[in-house]
Structure 1
């Protein structure tokens, strides 16, 4: 295990920050696809009934989530010359990619066979995601002991997340249509092959460019029972667990419903007119002409207004999230992570609630609300995981013991539980409204249900998350106290 001579509270190099962030780029090529498209893939591509899709997403995700505490205990007790957490990136990089390809493949097995295949591949993907992403997340807690450096590391990390989100939410559907020649079945599989290769390379770069510096002292000896007792007695951890679940319920719910919102609620003629008025159609016409002129006739941007508007909508939101991330560190350094997170999460939710009042033709207002939502939510993105790393320090500060991976495993459990609940709610709500993936046009009841779901229902978990931060007691002053006292202890131990 690396026991670096550099101070554990010292600055990280730009190379190490970028190298670490590439791991999140890799993971989110898959994760963002699940977040945004898994319900759509099951109902509209693999043609699984919506109620069966809801069951697969919920039970598969929940089973994967229950694996996280075991994975956390295992990672905390891993000892290699590379450290505790880095080797897991090496061991899981290739399996992660291969299983992702299988999960988005569509063998024709009949309805029952499809459901079994989807269940098994989704469960396998959840398990390998835990074995990869839990150690990756815990790694951020042992690269440096400086809370300000963690703010900076989180900013780098979540710019990478936004890049992955931009690729998935803006380009995935066009890529699916292009790489499949209009066939979404072939397109999804071909696209996932590209993502799997790119992700494997990024995980390996993360492994080779990072070093673990916060190493438990030789005197620390704790049982599994003691680690779990420390966790359950950590009140800030309880708050962060609930917050993580709530946040990812909303992300899965709104993320999974947006594609249906553009396809089945918004008026296609209004979308086409909006794209024409802002010059998007003209830009795409020139782009397609340029591709034709160099012989790339297969790589044509799709003409479907819903696909183009959906991609542009997501792109606008993501660009504004990246801008918001740029403000995150300075605001957190000045006012503290907790207060900034709670306020900006609440403001971002207001711009989700306004979708309730938008008519199917209010395209400009919809894009404006998305831009403002994206900016304020972007400020919160790096802070969630930086706060979780702070909770690991809080546990060490209070108990003189550190179980970084176990703590992060609980948060990944929350992430997966939220993803499972939110993703299942997408399919369950669609089923309750009578959605039928085999129809080209849905009923008015389905369309109105989608409007209510992405506004009112998706906002409730965010509002609850902002409220429970009242019980999170690590404010700016406490952050400073914890950092200084842990620095003194580690210096004395060295």
Structure 2
């Protein structure tokens, strides 16, 4: 009766080690999303328009490199496996570039622009090389749909540790390291070291499962970029997931980029930054162990839709109360942290379903390509969020480290709370067209199991 017992599963010890990838991945992601714009404008002295241009240029590069990395991972053959060698050798490079990203050398204004462009684009490429193979390992570790959700819950749970290290500990540690440029550089070095070690532990956990599988004919799969890309374009559930997930990320990236500005210039309470971050973090932690239970009860599609819809409510409250009391603000932040964690985690849990759909519909999985697509849209949403924040702040006349006019204050409030609402509305529309329901997935798995059984005869 319980067919799921036939599916290959990963050992818990390996799942735990693999989950450290969630720590390494989110350390850099949250650090860049939360503080890079602020670091460049208020610490390094870069104009907001330069920062917005940098975000756009790097994403154009990612549009080519992310799918390419996904396909390279799918077709890699080595003694370390398909995906692990990229993680093992790419992690220290990524760690070093995180340090450089938050280092502010004494340069001329023009050379500062050259520096941030070179370092940020190099960081983005290194992130691609490491993160896409890391996410590609999820469906490789386990064929069981329920365990895949558990695996995603574990690695997202590790992501909350990253959130603690970044959103709560960043400013105190920067000050403890001496503050200013020195403090940020030392903090960047610490995050870079933690990122490297975390990814190495992750690669260790994936070792028993990352095998170089040959085709049925006994040869290696040929590397046909156009054929692989067509597989993605024809995969409607994957495209809808990319849009829904990307607009969720855009929502979070926009508010994260202006979060420091909101507390510094609107509320004039920078001391509340770690307090609000704690409210969001610990409320989000509570929702993580509920994810597998809620998924079984409601299904991934319906749960994603409900989570995105409810995330709008606390944002709307704080949008219309520009300077709320501390109690109202922290309550809204906690509610948002609890609810918004659900769709942000579910995207990665739904990714293996889209790979299964590709195998069911077109006879090819392409785990790396699917993972690269979601990783790209993740970075794209983060960059567009950062671009929107920098561009519109510059548009209304923001100048760092001075009293801001009313137009700037209103724009900060809108970007912090209003823009994320628009992102979640876009997610709701997209997810309405995601066609893999619980019933549909049962049909897909049954057909795939029958095909596998016929091939073994």
**What TM-score does the superposition give when structure 1 sets the normalisation length?**
0.87
Runs in 1 of length 4+ with deviation above 6 angstroms? none
Partner residue in 1 for 2:278: 315
CA distance in 1, matches of 2:210, 2:55: 37
**Equivalent residues in 2 for 1:245-284, closer than 5 Å:** 245-268=246-269
Provide Cα deviations, 1:58-99, integer angstroms capped at 9, x if missing partner.
212332343101111111110112321111111101111111
What count of residue pairs does the alignment treat as equivalent?
447
In structure 2, do the counterparts of structure 1 residues 389 and 476 end up closer, same or farther at CA, with 3 Å as the change threshold? Answer: same
Mean CA deviation greater in 90-99 or 442-451: 442-451
Mean CA deviation greater in 71-80 or 442-451: 442-451
**Equivalent residues in 2 for 1:447-462, closer than 5 Å:** 447-462=409-424
Q: How far did 1:217 drift?
A: 3.9
Partner residue in 2 for 1:94: 92
Q: Are the counterparts in 2 of residues 234 and 395 from structure 1 also a CA contact under 8 Å?
A: yes
Choose which of 41, 44, 60 in structure 2 pairs with 1:43: 41
Partner residue in 2 for 1:352: 315
Provide Cα deviations, 1:184-222, integer angstroms capped at 9, x if missing partner.
211111011111112211111111122326846434856
Q: How far did 1:373 drift?
A: 1.0
Provide Cα deviations, 1:333-382, integer angstroms capped at 9, x if missing partner.
12210000111111012211221122425221111111111111122232
Partner residue in 2 for 1:192: 188
Partner residue in 1 for 2:300: 337
CA RMSD of aligned residues (A): 1.7
CA distance in 1, matches of 2:447, 2:79: 29
In structure 2, do the counterparts of structure 1 residues 143 and 240 end up closer, same or farther at CA, with 3 Å as the change threshold? Answer: same
Q: Are the counterparts in 1 of residues 42 and 400 from structure 2 also a CA contact under 8 Å?
A: yes
In structure 2, do the counterparts of structure 1 residues 490 and 188 end up closer, same or farther at CA, with 3 Å as the change threshold? Answer: farther
State whether structure 2 residue 77 is matched by structure 1 residue 79. Answer: yes
CA distance in 1, matches of 2:193, 2:82: 25
Provide Cα deviations, 1:245-268, integer angstroms capped at 9, x if missing partner.
212211110111111111111144
Partner residue in 1 for 2:209: 212
Q: How far did 1:467 drift?
A: 1.7
Q: Are the counterparts in 1 of residues 248 and 344 from structure 2 also a CA contact under 8 Å?
A: no
Q: Are the counterparts in 1 of residues 83 and 210 from structure 2 also a CA contact under 8 Å?
A: no
**Equivalent residues in 2 for 1:40-439, closer than 5 Å:** 40-180=38-178, 183-210=179-206, 211-212=208-209, 215=213, 217-219=215-217, 221=221, 223-268=224-269, 306=270, 308-439=271-402
Q: Are the counterparts in 1 of residues 276 and 330 from structure 2 also a CA contact under 8 Å?
A: yes
CA distance in 1, matches of 2:25, 2:95: 10
CA distance in 1, matches of 2:214, 2:35: 40
Provide Cα deviations, 1:284-305, integer angstroms capped at 9, x if missing partner.
xxxxxxxxxxxxxxxxxxxxxx
Partner residue in 1 for 2:404: 442
CA distance in 1, matches of 2:33, 2:447: 39
**Equivalent residues in 2 for 1:22-41, closer than 5 Å:** 22-41=20-39
Q: How far did 1:230 drift?
A: 1.8
User: SS at the partner of 2:80?
Assistant: coil
Q: Are the counterparts in 1 of residues 82 and 210 from structure 2 also a CA contact under 8 Å?
A: no
Provide Cα deviations, 1:443-475, integer angstroms capped at 9, x if missing partner.
232112111221212210111101211110000
Provide Cα deviations, 1:399-455, integer angstroms capped at 9, x if missing partner.
11121111211211211211111111111121112111142x322321121112212
In structure 2, do the counterparts of structure 1 residues 451 and 459 end up closer, same or farther at CA, with 3 Å as the change threshold? Answer: same
CA distance in 1, matches of 2:310, 2:346: 16
In structure 2, do the counterparts of structure 1 residues 190 and 92 end up closer, same or farther at CA, with 3 Å as the change threshold? Answer: same
Gaps of 5+ in 1: 1-6, 269-305
CA distance in 2, matches of 1:246, 1:361: 26
In structure 2, do the counterparts of structure 1 residues 8 and 404 end up closer, same or farther at CA, with 3 Å as the change threshold? Answer: farther
Q: Are the counterparts in 1 of residues 132 and 368 from structure 2 also a CA contact under 8 Å?
A: yes
CA distance in 1, matches of 2:63, 2:177: 33
User: SS at the partner of 1:142?
Assistant: helix
Partner residue in 2 for 1:469: 431
Q: Are the counterparts in 1 of residues 137 and 210 from structure 2 also a CA contact under 8 Å?
A: no
